[in-house]
């Protein structure tokens, strides 16, 4: 076992879907995977391995924010040999054209987190998606007729910003939406030469102040998971 995951070596597949919410991990495993087996319950951060169309795939909750997500990404890569990390999460829209229920792929992830300036001694690093997974996701979405948007996103350290309007600066530079993990995930994947991709559904809009209902979230979540599972 690793520090935060009680799985044995070989229990976790090379491709892992990463929702923030551990109960989402359970729902994904029970809804989409055949013969899912739970390999982790440490801190309630559930992880499962099963098969999808005959291919082995795992799904692991990460918690919210870069520090929590990176604990799981680091251990999955270093202790369990994971090669493809696919975040499936929600995000808040920063643009009028990015509507609630849209699916957004993060080509790159900006951040207000201090983590990378610590890592790079005050300099910036521009973390990007795996080109291979990105290209494949575009193909799968096209085949399934699921519309996608793609571009730069913000991984924020705060859900409740002190100044609500501060999002407008990011929006002016074309950032599509905000979530809290991708910048860290792409950075760690780059360091260890593995693939990472974030697929996000828009759950709320900072522009229009709309929010999806629980039913709407489930439906768009399904489309996003269908794309992610095909990347295994
Ligand atoms: N995830 C979903 N909506 C969000 C928001 N408004 N801010 C940060 N993360 C989010």
**pLDDT tens per residue, range 7-51:** 999 999 999 999 999 999 999 999 999 999 999 999 999 999 999
Tell me, using a 6 A CB cutoff, whether residue 65 lines ligand 1. Answer: no
Residues 105 and 182: their CA atoms lie apart, in Å, by 11
Tell me, using a 6 A CB cutoff, whether residue 111 lines ligand 1. Answer: no
pLDDT at 148: 96
Q: pTM, whole model, 2 decimals?
A: 0.96
Contact 68, 60 (CB under 8 A): no
The ranges assigned to domains in the chain are 15-231
Lowest mean pLDDT across 121-135, 170-184, 213-227: 213-227
Q: How far is the CA of 3 from the centre of ligand 1 (A)?
A: 28
Q: Which CATH architecture best describes the domain 15-231?
A: 3-Layer(aba) Sandwich (3.40)
Whether 215 shows a pLDDT value over 80: the answer reads no
Residues 101 and 141: their CA atoms lie apart, in Å, by 15
pLDDT at 38: 98
Catalytic site includes residue 11? no
Rg (CA), the chain: 17
Q: How far is the CA of 76 from the centre of ligand 1 (A)?
A: 25
Burial of 220 (0-12, 13-18, 19+ CB in 10 A): buried
What ligand 1 atom has the least distance to the C-alpha of 156? 8
Tell me, using a 6 A CB cutoff, whether residue 177 lines ligand 1. Answer: no
């Amino acid at each position: 076992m690793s520090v935060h995951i009680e799985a044995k070596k070989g229990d976790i597949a090379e491709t892992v879907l990463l929702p923030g919410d551990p109960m989402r991990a359970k729902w994904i495993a029970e809804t989409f995977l055949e013969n899912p087996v739970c390999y982790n319950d440490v801190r309630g951060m559930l992880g499962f391995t099963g098969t999808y169309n005959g291919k082995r795939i795992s799904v692991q909750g990460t918690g919210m924010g870069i520090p929590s997500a990176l604990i799981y990404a680091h251990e999955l890569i270093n202790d369990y040999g994971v090669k493809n990390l696919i975040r499936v999460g929600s995000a808040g829209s920063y643009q009028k054209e990015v509507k609630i229920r849209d699916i957004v792929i993060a080509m790159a992830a900006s951040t207000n987190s201090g983590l990378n300036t610590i890592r790079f001694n005050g300099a910036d690093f521009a973390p990007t998606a795996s080109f291979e997974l990105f290209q494949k996701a575009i193909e799968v979405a096209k085949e399934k007729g699921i519309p996608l948007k793609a571009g730069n996103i913000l991984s924020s350290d705060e859900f409740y910003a002190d100044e609500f309007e501060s999002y407008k600066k990011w929006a002016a530079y074309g950032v599509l939406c905000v979530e809290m993990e991708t910048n860290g995930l792409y950075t760690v994947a780059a360091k260890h030469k593995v693939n990472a991709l974030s697929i996000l559904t828009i759950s709320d809009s900072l522009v229009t102040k709309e929010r999806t209902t629980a039913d709407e979230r489930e439906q768009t979540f399904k489309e996003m998971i269908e794309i992610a599972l095909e990347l295994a």
